[in-house]
Structure 1
Amino acid sequence: MLNLARPLYAAVFAVGMAFTSVASAQDRPPQVKIDSGNLEGTLDSAGVRVFRGIPYAAPPIGDLRWREPQPAKPWTGVRSARDFGDRCQQGPFPAYKPIGGSGMSENCLFLNVWSASDSARRPVLVWIHGGGLGYGYSNQADYDGDSFVDKGLVYVSLNYRVGVLGYLAHPELTAESPNMSSGNYGALDQLAALQWIRRNIAAFGGDPDNVTIFGESAGSVSVSALTASPMAKGLFRRGIGDSGASLGSTVDTLPVRPLAWAEKRGQTFMQVAKANSLAELRAMPADRLVEVSNNGEGHMFHPGLFAPTIDGYFLKEAPEQTFARGAQNNVDLIAGWNLDEGKTFMKISRHPGTCEPVWKTAQTPSAFVAQAEKTFGKSAPEFLKMHPHATEAESIASAHYMVGDMAIAYPTWRWADLQARNDPTNVYLFFFKKATPAQWQGGAPSHGAEVPYAFDNLKQIATSWSDADYQVATQMSTYYANFAKTGNPNGTGLPRWPTYKPSDPRRMVFGERGAEVEATPVAPLQFIDRNRSAGPWCQDLM
């Protein structure tokens, strides 16, 4: 009699061993080889391959402080990429809450990659965080990349130098630079990260020829500046800008500044820091520099007071001139803003050198009229017709919207409008007005409120989200993912998002009923455009 049990057992055992081998391989920490060495990442709870804390440039410490980023030093063996790297040195800011085990130091030029596989060439989405160019970092919960990976992308987030360590200009710095420039170190970090992505992202399954950069607030300012910079040509194909641009609403509140202005400010900072030379500034501890820049007489680098410099190197001219000439990098664009942007900026209080809104006290009918006349002179009657102010409630709301328009909506619209006029690529405009839960952001669609929706990361924030919130998050993030893939946000099951054209200025609105198309109310923005020499929306920065 033949014994069939043994062969059957052996076959089952062999299949089981093969399955175990495959399962072990799937559970093994992922490794990749990049130009500076081998990395070992981790599989997160969703099975996504995540590589954190990858150095894309050398630590900007010692003599490299306030210099253009230098290449990362190669390493031997396998470097762990399981944890986030240090955040860039900065002062405390309650809006930001880091996750992970990272600390804070000048050794902070790290990026992070989320990917499903290393074998495909997937579109790449690169996140540039906000924070007024003075704060922020990549390791926040709502910046997690799993949702975008699920939608078919490779996702990258990065740190860049902020505050006085990222945007200080000074005549001595200009003189020692081979490019005779200073003040754009954070922007040059972003550029170095994009160059790293160009060289290395294929190892993570990304397509180096299909990169989209995405930023909010100062990150959006950075996206527009990179689009205007000839140094960034060919490094990305598309841009997404939420609530910010490197264009300005009045002549004295431009988000970019001439080199001479920035150098003068740097000289003032050196005096406040009680340093006699650049060498003495470089010898100071980083936390001391941040303390000086954020307190007392040195309070010159408060949120919103940093600005890229027109240095003749990273920026040859004001980005507005570049966009007006159609000389920017030809990239498709999504840009937009939120309903109550002004709520955030109205909170800025007066300190030496800070930018307090002049409309902060214009919250009664008479005070609103007085400020309108002071700001717009003979054009005030036209302005007042467009902004309700018959009651105190109307005056408060109009003051908020005015600050939001001048600080955020106008520059963002101007960027999109100029690009639509002078560029063969497609432009898509959005408006976010979805009320948020009362426990988060006070229930208002204020500055930054759209970020967890755009990432589809509501689950990362502990609050009572509604079905309408989840609907908007799914729609917005899917539009963004589609755009990163093809340059067109539209797709199956989504309301059609039309391109923005100056002759047909439609936009996508994200509100209580989800995504809907409406005509953009451009009259208040065009009014600002006609009154560029008007008084500032906030006190001047010097």
Structure 2
Amino acid sequence: MKYLTRRDFFRRTAFGILPALALPHLAHSSLSFSSTDVEVETSYGKLRGLRTEGVNIYKGVPYAGSVSGERRFLKPAALKPWTGVREATRLGPPSIQPPNQTYGINEPDPAEDCLTLNIWTPANDDKKRPVMVYNHGGGFRTGSAGSVAQDGSNLARMYDVVVVATNHRLGLLGYLYLDEIAGDEYAGSGNRGIQDIAIALKWVNENISAFGGDPDNVMIFGESGGGAKTSCLYAMPEAAPYFHKASIESGPGVMMKTADVAAETTELLLKRLGIARTDWRKLLKLPPSVLLDAQEQLQKMGDLSQIAGFHGIGAAGKGGFGPVVDGVVLSTHPFDPIAPSLSKEKPLQVGWNEDEFIFFAMVSGDTEAFQLTQEKLYQRIESILGDKAQLVVDTYREAYPKATPTQLFIAIRSILIMGLGSITIAERKTKQGGAPAYLYNFGYKSDLKVPGTDYEFGSMHALDIPFKFHNIDNVLDKSGHRSSSMAGNRPERFAASDNMCQLWTSFARTSVPSAKGQPTWPAYNLDNRPTMRIDSSCEVIYDRYATELSMWRKALS
């Protein structure tokens, strides 16, 4: 089965204008905003951004120095102050990655020196708004801070918060483990990508007051790979002083790559490039394109445990590149065997979307998944779980007697991909006895159809992104035109988005998520296990998936 990237999906669907769906409301209209210059003084020099539609926006702001040339695989050089006023009106370059994997407007080509961030704030004043620092998705391999779906303008304007998003190193350049062959200077090399984010958080701590933000009230959050990055930051001493709460969204990083697996991947890379261990410094001279090609070749031989595994995104096997439990940057797995003690007093949100797997089936072109027979359902589950398949299928059939085989398959795969890891995190955080954990399911159902089928998007993976940023309608595409988002056409989408934004921004503001007119969201506990189901009308569900979880604990023990 060929897995496509998030960018491939977005290009085919919501942000690619959905040509196959031929929906009438997708006609474009050119868009222009009136903007005025706005300046701010940082500790490194003045920045000139734009005030647009009631929001001050600064793009491509450097937070660290070079990571190219002799700085490759090292922590970045110190950021040098500048004189005069630096323009901050254009996105910075994303990290080196395969082509066409980002979807920002007027976004530069990927580059090795990529350490910039974007800021959206209602005003540069002394109001001390909560600060929400977002970690983009795309695994640890693709993506950028410039995504149109993750634009922070509406969130900042409508909910009076400061939003920040970072570019950071990805793939081989961010996660090549050289600790065992390159000496002390390269200790921590397998975690440069998340170290970059920690350095960005330090920049935020030192400078966000000038943007109307409160450096003593910073929330980190992220979806998919961004959730896994957030999981790592939650367990990372280098990041700990600079954030105060976290939200892990459809990306439960329970476990990360072990050092021995990372070392094996490094050996495979050197072999592919024809470089001896003792000549590893040749890696510093190779063009990024050569390294990227080798990375992609190794990726093909790596496993897909970040999609199919039971330990959450990040616990992939050899061949891929991601954070490493190295004893330097990450001393332990983020949430295994327990929640990290250094974040014991930091509140946590964690959860997933009800129909996660629809996304993965769609981007892989697996249209058969949306028209399964009972026999095909069993065969597919058996290919994943072997002799446990009958127990799993029977349990889900009993729990959902009216569901089709496809609906059962999506339910099973969705909880395997994201649900079990999210619940594990909530349980282990709760067992600590410190700050609370809040567990959620995003349940709003988009009525758009999977291309080539009559099956709706439902609450698939990544659907929550436009909802939590209130970018659910008339999203700007890369050409600066408006198009429909993947939220679909149901009028209830606006209420669902407002509920999610209120929950997220109230959590950022007070550490207790709440939304006007919606039920109180209880902290997770091990007795009645409350889960907030987020939709146009929210609902607290106690001990959700009790039957299924009882089975999973037996089947996976």
TM-score (norm 1): 0.82
Contact map agreement 2:156 2:162 (CA 8 A) in 1 = yes
In structure 2, the residue corresponding to 1:387 is in which secondary structure? helix
**Cα deviation, residue 481, structure 1:** 0.7
**Cα deviation, residue 494, structure 1:** 3.2
Aligned-residue sequence identity (percent) comes to 27
2:170 counterpart of 1:162: yes
2:103 counterpart of 1:97: yes
Contact map agreement 1:258 1:310 (CA 8 A) in 2 = yes
Contact map agreement 2:446 2:458 (CA 8 A) in 1 = yes
Which letter does structure 2 place at the counterpart of 1:67? Answer: L
| CA–CA separation in structure 1 for the residues paired with 2:149 and 2:372 | 34
From the superposition, tell whether residues 456 and 28 of structure 1 become closer, same or farther in structure 2 (CA, over 3 Å): closer
2:53 counterpart of 1:29: no
| 367-376 vs 517-526, greater mean Cα deviation | 367-376
| CA–CA separation in structure 2 for the residues paired with 1:102 and 1:343 | 31
Which letter does structure 2 place at the counterpart of 1:57? Answer: A
2:544 counterpart of 1:517: no
Which letter does structure 1 place at the counterpart of 2:289? Answer: D
Q: Which residue of 2 aligns with 1:68?
A: 75
Q: Which residue of 1 aligns with 2:286?
A: 284
| CA–CA separation in structure 1 for the residues paired with 2:235 and 2:298 | 35
Unaligned runs of 5+ in 2: 1-33, 308-319, 476-482
Deviations 1:188-244 (A, max 9, x none): 111111111111111111111000001000111111111122222221111111101
- The correspondence for 2:430, drawn from 420, 431, 438, is 420
**Cα deviation, residue 384, structure 1:** 3.3
**Cα deviation, residue 290, structure 1:** 1.4
From the superposition, tell whether residues 175 and 295 of structure 1 become closer, same or farther in structure 2 (CA, over 3 Å): closer
| CA–CA separation in structure 2 for the residues paired with 1:349 and 1:518 | 32
Q: Which residue of 1 aligns with 2:267?
A: 267
| CA–CA separation in structure 2 for the residues paired with 1:73 and 1:214 | 28
2:530 counterpart of 1:506: yes
**Cα deviation, residue 321, structure 1:** 2.9
Contact map agreement 1:29 1:42 (CA 8 A) in 2 = yes
Contact map agreement 1:337 1:430 (CA 8 A) in 2 = yes
In structure 2, the residue corresponding to 1:157 is in which secondary structure? strand
| CA–CA separation in structure 2 for the residues paired with 1:522 and 1:175 | 49
2:122 counterpart of 1:116: yes
Contact map agreement 2:74 2:185 (CA 8 A) in 1 = no
Q: Which residue of 2 aligns with 1:402?
A: 412
Q: Which residue of 2 aligns with 1:386?
A: 395
Instruction: Give the 5 Å matches for 1:469-508.
Output: 469-508=493-532
Deviations 1:244-267 (A, max 9, x none): 1111xxxxxxx5111121011111
Q: Which residue of 2 aligns with 1:447?
A: 461
- The correspondence for 2:184, drawn from 159, 168, 177, is 177
2:333 counterpart of 1:318: yes
Q: Which residue of 2 aligns with 1:309?
A: 324
Contact map agreement 1:269 1:298 (CA 8 A) in 2 = no
From the superposition, tell whether residues 177 and 207 of structure 1 become closer, same or farther in structure 2 (CA, over 3 Å): same
**Cα deviation, residue 74, structure 1:** 1.8
In structure 1, the residue corresponding to 2:231 is in which secondary structure? helix
Instruction: Give the 5 Å matches for 1:459-478.
Output: 459-461=473-475, 462-463=483-484, 465-478=489-502
Instruction: Give the 5 Å matches for 1:46-445.
Output: 46-92=53-99, 96-119=102-125, 120-150=127-157, 151-171=159-179, 175-178=182-185, 180-247=187-254, 255-276=255-276, 277-295=279-297, 300=302, 305-321=320-336, 323-324=338-339, 326=341, 328-346=343-361, 364-366=373-375, 368-369=377-378, 382-388=391-397, 394-438=404-448, 442-445=456-459
| 432-441 vs 111-120, greater mean Cα deviation | 432-441
In structure 2, the residue corresponding to 1:98 is in which secondary structure? coil
Contact map agreement 1:51 1:113 (CA 8 A) in 2 = yes
Which letter does structure 1 place at the counterpart of 2:465? Answer: V
Contact map agreement 2:446 2:490 (CA 8 A) in 1 = no
**Cα deviation, residue 482, structure 1:** 0.7
Contact map agreement 1:272 1:297 (CA 8 A) in 2 = no
**Cα deviation, residue 460, structure 1:** 4.3
Q: Which residue of 2 aligns with 1:21?
A: none
| CA–CA separation in structure 2 for the residues paired with 1:28 and 1:400 | 48
From the superposition, tell whether residues 243 and 394 of structure 1 become closer, same or farther in structure 2 (CA, over 3 Å): same
Contact map agreement 1:241 1:335 (CA 8 A) in 2 = yes
In structure 1, the residue corresponding to 2:265 is in which secondary structure? helix
From the superposition, tell whether residues 93 and 404 of structure 1 become closer, same or farther in structure 2 (CA, over 3 Å): farther
Contact map agreement 1:43 1:49 (CA 8 A) in 2 = yes
In structure 2, the residue corresponding to 1:208 is in which secondary structure? strand
| CA–CA separation in structure 2 for the residues paired with 1:316 and 1:215 | 22
| 361-370 vs 289-298, greater mean Cα deviation | 361-370
Q: Which residue of 1 aligns with 2:478?
A: none
Q: Which residue of 2 aligns with 1:10?
A: none
| CA–CA separation in structure 2 for the residues paired with 1:198 and 1:80 | 22
**Cα deviation, residue 49, structure 1:** 0.8
Contact map agreement 1:388 1:394 (CA 8 A) in 2 = no
In structure 1, the residue corresponding to 2:97 is in which secondary structure? coil
Q: Which residue of 2 aligns with 1:9?
A: none
Contact map agreement 2:178 2:186 (CA 8 A) in 1 = no
Which letter does structure 2 place at the counterpart of 1:164? Answer: L
Q: Which residue of 1 aligns with 2:316?
A: none
**Cα deviation, residue 509, structure 1:** 1.3
Query: How many residue pairs align between the two structures?
Result: 490
Contact map agreement 1:170 1:267 (CA 8 A) in 2 = no
Contact map agreement 2:131 2:217 (CA 8 A) in 1 = yes
Contact map agreement 1:345 1:403 (CA 8 A) in 2 = no
**Cα deviation, residue 288, structure 1:** 2.4
| 305-314 vs 434-443, greater mean Cα deviation | 434-443
From the superposition, tell whether residues 169 and 143 of structure 1 become closer, same or farther in structure 2 (CA, over 3 Å): same
Unaligned runs of 5+ in 1: 1-25, 248-254, 351-355, 534-542
In structure 2, the residue corresponding to 1:502 is in which secondary structure? coil
Q: Which residue of 2 aligns with 1:539?
A: none
Deviations 1:322-344 (A, max 9, x none): 63475544211111111111223
Instruction: Give the 5 Å matches for 1:3-42.
Output: 29-42=37-50
Q: Which residue of 2 aligns with 1:18?
A: none
**Cα deviation, residue 366, structure 1:** 4.2
From the superposition, tell whether residues 527 and 418 of structure 1 become closer, same or farther in structure 2 (CA, over 3 Å): farther
| CA–CA separation in structure 2 for the residues paired with 1:364 and 1:48 | 51
| CA–CA separation in structure 1 for the residues paired with 2:342 and 2:402 | 45
From the superposition, tell whether residues 438 and 492 of structure 1 become closer, same or farther in structure 2 (CA, over 3 Å): closer
In structure 2, the residue corresponding to 1:105 is in which secondary structure? coil
Which letter does structure 1 place at the counterpart of 2:460? Answer: S
| CA–CA separation in structure 2 for the residues paired with 1:361 and 1:29 | 50
Contact map agreement 1:346 1:403 (CA 8 A) in 2 = no
| CA–CA separation in structure 1 for the residues paired with 2:156 and 2:510 | 16
| CA–CA separation in structure 1 for the residues paired with 2:235 and 2:474 | 34
